[in-house]
Structure 1
Amino acid sequence: MDSISLDSLSLDKISLPKLPLFKFGSDEQWPSYGKNLSNQRFSTLTQINQDNVKNLELAWKFKSGVAATFQSSPLVINNVMFVSLPHNHVVALDAKTGKELWRYNHKKRDNWRMCCGPANRGLAYSSNKIFIGTVDARLIALDAKTGKKIWDIDVADNDNKFESSSSLSQSDSKSQKDVYGQTGVGIAMAPMAYKDIVIVGITGVGYGLHVDTPRPDAPLGAVIGVDGRFGRPGFLAAYNIQTGKRVWQFDTIPSEGWEGKFRETIEGNISLNRNIAQEKESLKNNKEAWKFGGGSAWSTPAIDEDTNTLYFGTGNPSPQMNDTSRPGDNLYTVSLVALDATSGKLKWFYQQVPHDVWGYDVASPPVLFDFKKEGKTVPAVGQASKTGWYYIHNSITGELLAKTEPFVPQKNLFAKATAEGTVIYPGILGGANWGPTSLDEKNQIVFVSAIHAPIKYTLVDEPAHDDLPSIKYASSEPTQDQRWGLLSAIDLNTKKIKWQVKTPQPLTGGLLATEGNLVFMGEGNGNFNAYDSRTGKLLWTNKADAGVNAPPISYEIDGTQYIAVAAGGNSIFGFKEGDNVLVYKLK
């Protein structure tokens, strides 16, 4: 269902609560994607705890009428819940009862190629406005009281340039499948509001061609990386919250210095299996590779108010998997980036995987916290990677302070595609994908949900024949091996896994941890679970009628604590779709 009629809804007859400016950082409600600017997703509410969570029951359920991949993390502000629905519709609900207060129906621009399906990951709030980034690359401000549009701007156009140096041979077994071409540009992240600006970034700029997926949100098939000049640089940008005027833009691919230092290894002297001599030789014919460089901005930023610094992650370079036309490190792709939040100027960056050919986007949102190191407190930023490590940096300097032991199995990491196919894990799915982590700063524990999904990387190198040109490309596709999910509690002091829970399906959606010694997490089979955060013991579960693949939140109204989560599945992983917002409280 792409749209919902408002004919029967009379907004002028609805009495809405007044929505004053909300103070970020309140423990009682949930005013920002990660609860506050730190992105810790940790609630200090304790009414629901390890002793009584078994008594949790459904308080109310809202069915939106839009059944599609549902990844939204709701906001709760002054007892009103705001939820972004698939296809960028937005609803405001009474957070105590679930009553619909207003609805905004988004009309997507005609003929727009969606990047990554209809899902949206959340909203931002400031100055009595709700902000949403859309699948058709717009940033929209709504009146938080009525849902009426205040302004609507284009963040990017849909021109994803494609100048392939080769075409797919119809005799090749992979190319006989349905190759439908480039993805479009869109916005998946929840925006971040900060002072007088709202910040958002674009996605869909770092892909190859897709195979066997007739629609962008279909179950995952193969992805191929074709040599050529296609794609564009990604960016993160800030807009004035009152007018929508762009204040600054940071391009994730610099026009100068993008080739970097041609790093051969990452920390720990782990080889990236690069042919540096060959890359340097090809540089003379690819001096404008940055113009097609990729680097989507996937994750909602974290912001340190004390230093006025913004942190976000970047996606893979373009062309995806095929690196012959983009020598060098491909800065600033697959990086954690720190910017001045007022100007957008670069402070530092840390590239997790230089010259990435595996799709190891920095996708999970960064988290700010005080890190205890050798008896000292260091301001830190942490990030759960697709490669399976949790990185901890000095948030001021960018220095890598620590890297934890892997939270997923690793095999053939950074191996290149071969003619017979190389099986790698984690692969393009992760590791930690887009789902946000939760961090207990007091106990120095981070909770990470992740994916084990072996991926085969195959190199196709076919000579010219029958008047067809030669073709060389890399393909990534899931193997027939078993997949599963892993929920991990990682001790930041020891860098070791404290406990781990294996789930039958990959985990995509994110977490909530609370002061009540609980971690809440959903699964693609519809289970919504609460675990003891100290031991990993399963304490409570509830079965939804669709996959629970979105991040939970917690809030309080009139002394009652609630737990809320969207249950609408994820078609890319084959999890059943739905249209539910589920809210729980104690009996």
Structure 2
Amino acid sequence: MNYLLSTLLFLYAAIPVIGQTPTSGSVEWPAYGNDPGGMRFSPLKQINTGNVKQLTVAWTFRTGELEQYKGTSADEKAAFEATPLMVDGTLFFSTPSSRVFAIDAATGQQKWSYDPEVYLRQDLSEITSRGVSVWPTSNGKTASGAAKRILIPTLDGRLIALDAKTGKPVSSFGKDGIVDLRQGVGNISVTSPPAVIGNTIVVGSSMGDNQRFNYERGVVRAYDALTGKLRWSWDPIPRSKTDPGFETWKGPNATQTGAANAWSVISADAERDLVFIPTTSPSPDYYGGERLGKNANASSIVAIRASTGKVVWSYQTVHHDIWDYDNAAQPLLFSYDQNGKPVPAVAVGTKMGHVFILHRETGVPLLPVEERRVPASDIAGEEAHPTQPFPATLPLLGLQKPEAWGLTPDAKAAAQRRIAALRYEGPFTPPSLKGTLVAPGNVGGINWSGMCYDPESGLLITNVNRLAASITLIPRAQLAQSVKNDQELMRAETGMQSGTPYVMKRSYLFAKTETGLTMQTAPPWGTLAAINLKKGTLEWEVPLGFMLDPRQFPEAKQWGSINFGGAIATAGGLVFVAASMDGHFRAFKTSDGSLQWEVPLPAGGQATPMTYQINGKQYVVIAAGGHGKLGTKLGDYVVAYQLP
């Protein structure tokens, strides 16, 4: 063999191959979605379709979280939704009360913990934390003398930087390691980990935005990772006539509108100096008479230059949102094959069950989108937008055509009567005085559970909810009489929507029976679905979990379950997901959706799992702590699985 040939062979062998798994050493999971763009794909394949049935518990760690709730009502809202990070042989994660733990990735033994001492008796819309972030990122460089940091945003609106080795606040960051995110903004929380891009930290906010129309501003802010100083701030809602999109917010009070905040996970593209912001409905969710018009930047994906805070492009997924159709899923950055050429793309999954594929640099759709006519509002003072964007070639997911259902003929008849009494004229039927059937409802379609992408197969995989909601607007002057005459109003979710003429009542199309929650729309109620982006077709869709006892109802496993918590894909040909109400953790075959493995968890698994390799062994880890609002079993477990 000559020198040139041997050299070329050596260089070829050194090129990393997609899906190739190291036989030893570590493979990390350094960000919420593994990569900063949230593909949630791992190249590991030690655990694969041939051996996944052999998985066994490697270790279990308990956080003691439930002790934090004693003497409070936090357990009614608490949800353990965190996805741990694995960096430098350590798992880092947060609990619903924003406590942070560092544990050994191989043994599950605690290294340190940090408690920000969030006061759980305050008025909090959500009690959850989807995780922490690490600075610098895995391919970043630490400034001279600066320790690696774990960043935790808290329920009470603080951004805290912790030393990754000790768990102590970094004194040079903010004030003694803390930045006050409520200063100048108001009563906000943060429930998702911040984006880290270079030496910049980008953070959004969470708020309960149905109580009044002039809620807190949904600002997105960027801070210096070393000092905690504010670099820039961006308000999704134009406040000045010189702001782009100002003309799409109409009415004398439009500039007082709040929210349109980014409570979900923000994606980052360091190469292009871009962050991708998923914004939400303006406040309040179900009446837009104070903010007529298209409402640019709300319910949108907005690409912002990370170094300057300037908007590069904005793509709106819902015009004049009056359905609580927040962009809840993390924007997924991937390489799209267009006519044989790789194109930088962002996949957007929505509560409506729509998937948009946009050019990452321009926001222009890479697959056709149609503006279709939708029903008009019959509410005085409201003007629903006449059209909405629909993907023209990709399949629509979620409950698109609700049909009445019940376990018995009487139950089905009751469901038919309920549906018949509601206004329903297809997707985007506006809220009404008589009550409107909204399908998909505000829990999805695709919720914060989000999507994952397998670059080897070209499959975009997501879990889907199929649950309809009933939305009724009640004239404020008639509220007292309505409460007296409508006992259901006392049991339903109620948003006062102060500053508007209407109070909102929201309920869901299920009935409570002796067997538990019984849906009033036809199953499946939750699925796992794969879209083949190479073909633009639905590759497969299978029921996910169950809600009724299969011993009593043998078909229950075909009916699926409401689900919260996403899926991940691996080069081992597997998709791992829990999320469903039955408390099981499952692995499906990526190519066809067939169930390969399932085990019961010690508590509800309403979190997205992750996987990593250390000392040559692959682990799959999930937080199992339940979901108070969903009613799954609460707990404080982090469980790791491995091959024997």
Structure 1 length as normaliser, TM-score?
0.81
CA contact 2:475–2:502 (8 Å) conserved in 1: yes
Letter in 2 for 1:570: H
Structure 1 residue 486 displacement after superposition: 1.3
Q: 1:307 to 1:27 in 2, by over 3 A?
A: farther
Letter in 1 for 2:536: K
1:487 aligns with 2:490: no
Structure 1 residue 291 displacement after superposition: 2.8
SS in 2 for 1:86: coil
Cα RMSD of the aligned pairs, angstroms, is 2.4
SS in 2 for 1:290: helix
Question: What per-residue deviation string (whole Å, max 9, x for no partner) do you get for residues 503-534 of structure 1?
Answer: 33212101110000000000222100000000
Task: State the partner residue of 1:539.
Answer: 596
Task: State the partner residue of 2:420.
Answer: none
Task: State the partner residue of 1:514.
Answer: 570
Residue 252 (structure 2) aligned to one of 270, 285, 288: 285
Task: State the partner residue of 1:88.
Answer: 98
Q: 1:365 to 1:460 in 2, by over 3 A?
A: same
Q: 1:333 to 1:94 in 2, by over 3 A?
A: same
1:405 aligns with 2:431: no
Describe how 1:67-216 pairs up with structure 2 within 5 A: 67=66, 68-108=78-118, 112-116=122-126, 118-127=127-136, 128-150=148-170, 151-157=177-183, 184-204=187-207, 207-209=209-211
CA distance in 1, matches of 2:227, 2:429: 48
Structure 1 residue 100 displacement after superposition: 0.7
Question: What per-residue deviation string (whole Å, max 9, x for no partner) do you get for residues 206-255 of structure 1?
Answer: x213xxxxxxxxxxxxxxxxxx6420220211111121111111112121
Structure 1 residue 295 displacement after superposition: 0.9
CA contact 1:294–1:316 (8 Å) conserved in 2: yes
Considering only CA atoms, is the larger Rg found in Structure 1 or Structure 2? 2
Q: 1:465 to 1:39 in 2, by over 3 A?
A: closer
SS in 2 for 1:459: strand
Letter in 1 for 2:535: T
CA distance in 2, matches of 1:284, 1:559: 62
Question: What per-residue deviation string (whole Å, max 9, x for no partner) do you get for residues 62-85 of structure 1?
Answer: 011113410001011111111111
Task: State the partner residue of 2:620.
Answer: 563
| Runs of at least 5 residues in structure 2 that lack an aligned partner in the other structure | 1-24, 67-77, 137-147, 171-176, 368-390, 402-425, 483-497, 511-519, 547-560
CA distance in 1, matches of 2:453, 2:585: 19
CA contact 1:313–1:365 (8 Å) conserved in 2: yes
CA distance in 2, matches of 1:435, 1:307: 26
SS in 2 for 1:92: strand
Letter in 1 for 2:319: P
CA distance in 2, matches of 1:143, 1:261: 43
Task: State the partner residue of 1:304.
Answer: 269
CA distance in 2, matches of 1:564, 1:236: 31
CA contact 1:113–1:158 (8 Å) conserved in 2: no
CA distance in 2, matches of 1:79, 1:530: 25
Describe how 1:43-62 pairs up with structure 2 within 5 A: 43-62=42-61
| Runs of at least 5 residues in structure 1 that lack an aligned partner in the other structure | 1-25, 161-183, 210-227, 264-279
Describe how 1:457-536 pairs up with structure 2 within 5 A: 457-461=471-475, 463=477, 472-480=502-510, 481-482=520-521, 484-503=525-544, 504=546, 505-522=561-578, 523-536=580-593
Task: State the partner residue of 1:17.
Answer: none
1:234 aligns with 2:218: yes
Q: 1:450 to 1:27 in 2, by over 3 A?
A: farther
Q: 1:94 to 1:463 in 2, by over 3 A?
A: closer
Structure 1 residue 111 displacement after superposition: 6.6
Question: What per-residue deviation string (whole Å, max 9, x for no partner) do you get for residues 267-320 of structure 1?
Answer: xxxxxxxxxxxxx9xx4533xx23323112122222222211111201111122
Structure 1 residue 106 displacement after superposition: 1.6
CA distance in 2, matches of 1:545, 1:516: 26
Letter in 2 for 1:54: K
SS in 2 for 1:96: coil
Identity %: 33
Structure 1 residue 148 displacement after superposition: 0.8
Structure 1 residue 112 displacement after superposition: 4.0
CA distance in 2, matches of 1:89, 1:158: 25
Describe how 1:547-586 pairs up with structure 2 within 5 A: 547-586=604-643
Q: 1:466 to 1:447 in 2, by over 3 A?
A: closer
Q: 1:462 to 1:185 in 2, by over 3 A?
A: closer
After TM superposition, the structure 1 stretch with the greater mean CA deviation from structure 2, 91-100 or 238-247, is 238-247
Letter in 1 for 2:236: T
Task: State the partner residue of 1:323.
Answer: 288
Structure 1 residue 391 displacement after superposition: 1.0
Question: What per-residue deviation string (whole Å, max 9, x for no partner) do you get for residues 348-376 of structure 1?
Answer: 01011011000000110011111112333
CA distance in 2, matches of 1:124, 1:465: 45
SS in 2 for 1:475: strand
Structure 1 residue 159 displacement after superposition: 6.8
CA contact 1:41–1:439 (8 Å) conserved in 2: yes
CA contact 1:566–1:580 (8 Å) conserved in 2: yes
Task: State the partner residue of 1:368.
Answer: 333
Describe how 1:330-341 pairs up with structure 2 within 5 A: 330-341=295-306
CA contact 2:479–2:503 (8 Å) conserved in 1: no
CA distance in 1, matches of 2:265, 2:481: 48
Q: Which has the higher strand share?
A: 1
Describe how 1:19-58 pairs up with structure 2 within 5 A: 28-58=27-57
CA distance in 2, matches of 1:120, 1:425: 28
CA distance in 1, matches of 2:610, 2:582: 20
- Number of aligned positions between the proteins: 499
CA distance in 2, matches of 1:134, 1:76: 20
CA contact 2:238–2:244 (8 Å) conserved in 1: no
Letter in 2 for 1:408: G
Question: What per-residue deviation string (whole Å, max 9, x for no partner) do you get for residues 527-566 of structure 1?
Answer: 0000000010101011012111101101001110000010
Structure 1 residue 156 displacement after superposition: 1.8
Letter in 2 for 1:53: V
1:348 aligns with 2:313: yes
SS in 1 for 2:124: coil
Letter in 1 for 2:630: F
CA contact 1:371–1:378 (8 Å) conserved in 2: yes
CA contact 1:384–1:390 (8 Å) conserved in 2: yes
CA distance in 2, matches of 1:314, 1:198: 17
CA contact 1:363–1:434 (8 Å) conserved in 2: yes
Task: State the partner residue of 1:381.
Answer: 346
After TM superposition, the structure 1 stretch with the greater mean CA deviation from structure 2, 420-429 or 39-48, is 420-429
Q: 1:436 to 1:546 in 2, by over 3 A?
A: same
